């Protein structure tokens, strides 16, 4: 069974586009039990640079008034998918797909948090404070390589209040896309395990979206988890967006590093299916058995793979949700 830290299937379904990586029938056949299904308010599409170094300008912020109706449409799209919505770890079972309702960027939450409880009642169980662009709660990292994730100020007062409210309700706070100052603010404030749903090791690929060793240590010490992102440009040492030159071994390289740094109890998958270019050797959800074979070849035993594929996510969700 595989539980995954991030996918953008909802965005494609909302646009009426076919999935790039996440055919749900194939997913069931290979033991994909679901995970975090993102409600992402899109910014204008940007082409990832092919040249190194790169520094992509961030799109403009999305105000609440524009984000709120789009979030409603995205939520309705998710509800129409042939998946169950997960509000308990018991919702993840063999042969079925469970979707954690996840906001990637909190633009659809009012700055006074007045509608957070309503979203919780509808099934929201995970929030990424930002998707890179700034909002009322925090600042994210711009997409740069090579560069540090220390790119700006930390959480706003509204952001600090949002972390506290999420802790009280039992909503997971996701630190992926958050800049380093914001990460450390969350670490100081939260009473739940620290989570980065789809972020890799900065030591192996110094993109702003990846996590420094100090951040990885903090996640470990808080009993949290980092989900390895399958995006080519966040895997490769040279930061190039070169799918045809990138194999599954690059995913294995990050899994090995994170396990050595944090321990096997703090590593999972955060594929970014339908939101990134992944190694063609993987292809999509149907390639997960090939990834597991590669991890076995790298020395991971069945017990370790059970933790990486689903056990660690279930433990962290169980420690976070009410």
From the CB of residue 176, how many other CB atoms can be counted at a distance below 10 Å? 30
Tally of residues, the chain:
322
- Report residues of the chain scoring pLDDT below 50: none
Whether residue 273 contacts residue 230, with contact meaning beta carbons closer than 8 Å, is answered with yes
Give Cβ neighbours of residue 77 (< 8 Å, ≥ 6 apart). Answer: 10, 13, 14
∠ Cα 134 137 143 (to 5°): 30
Q: What pLDDT does residue 71 have?
A: 98
For 147, the domain range is: 2-320
User: In this structure, what CATH number is given to the domain that contains residue 269?
Assistant: 3.20.20.140
From the CB of residue 240, how many other CB atoms can be counted at a distance below 10 Å? 18
* Number of independent structural domains in the chain: 1
Checking 235-241 for CB contacts under 8 A at 24+ apart, the result is: 235/200, 235/204, 235/205, 235/279, 236/205, 237/204, 237/205, 238/52, 239/52, 239/53, 239/54, 239/145, 239/146, 239/205, 239/206, 239/207, 240/50, 240/52, 241/48, 241/49, 241/50, 241/277
Neighbouring-strand partners of residue 35: 4, 99
Cα–Cα distance, 212 to 55 (Å, whole number): 19
Token pair for 308? 């990486």
Q: What pLDDT does residue 50 have?
A: 76
Q: What pLDDT does residue 44 have?
A: 81
- Listed residue (244, 268, 239) closest to 255, CA to CA: 268
For residue 256, what is the enclosing H or E element? helix 248-262
For 148-213, give the secondary structure using H, E and C: CCCCCCCCCHHHHHHHHHHHHHCCEEECCCECHHHHHHHHHHCCCCCEECCCCECCCCCCCCCECH
Residue 246 — φ and ψ, nearest 5°? -125, 130
């Amino acid at each position: 069974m595989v539980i995954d830290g991030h996918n953008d299937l909802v965005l494609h379904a909302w646009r009426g586009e076919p999935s790039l990586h996440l055919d749900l029938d194939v997913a069931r056949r290979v033991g994909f039990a679901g995970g975090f299904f993102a409600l992402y308010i899109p910014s204008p599409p940007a082409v990832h640079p092919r040249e190194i170094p790169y520094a992509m300008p961030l799109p403009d912020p999305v105000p609440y008034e524009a984000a709120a109706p789009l979030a409603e449409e995205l939520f309705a799209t998710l509800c129409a998918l042939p998946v169950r919505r997960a509000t308990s770890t018991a919702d993840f079972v063999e042969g079925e797909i469970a979707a954690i309702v996840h906001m990637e960027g909190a633009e659809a939450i009012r700055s006074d948090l007045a509608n957070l409880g309503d979203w919780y009642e509808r099934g929201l169980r995970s929030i990424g404070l930002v998707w890179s662009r700034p909002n009322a709660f925090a600042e994210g990292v711009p997409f740069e390589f090579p560069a540090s994730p220390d790119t700006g100020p930390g959480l706003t007062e509204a952001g600090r209040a949002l972390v506290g409210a999420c802790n009280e309700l039992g909503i997971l706070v996701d630190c992926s896309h958050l800049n380093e100052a914001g990460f450390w603010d969350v670490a100081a404030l939260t009473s739940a395990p620290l989570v980065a749903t789809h972020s890799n090791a900065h030591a192996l690929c110094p993109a702003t979206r990846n996590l420094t060793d100090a951040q990885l240590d903090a996640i470990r010490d808080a009993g949290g988890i980092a989900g390895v992102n399958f995006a080519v440009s966040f895997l490769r040492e040279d930061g190039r967006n070169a799918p045809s030159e990138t194999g599954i071994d690059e995913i294995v390289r990050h899994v090995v590093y994170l396990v050595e740094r944090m321990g096997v109890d703090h590593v999972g998958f955060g594929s970014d299916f339908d939101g990134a270019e992944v190694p063609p050797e993987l292809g999509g959800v149907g390639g997960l058995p090939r990834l597991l074979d590669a991890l076995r070849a790298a020395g991971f035993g069945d017990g370790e793979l059970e933790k990486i594929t689903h056990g660690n996510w279930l433990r962290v969700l169980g420690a976070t949700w009410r």
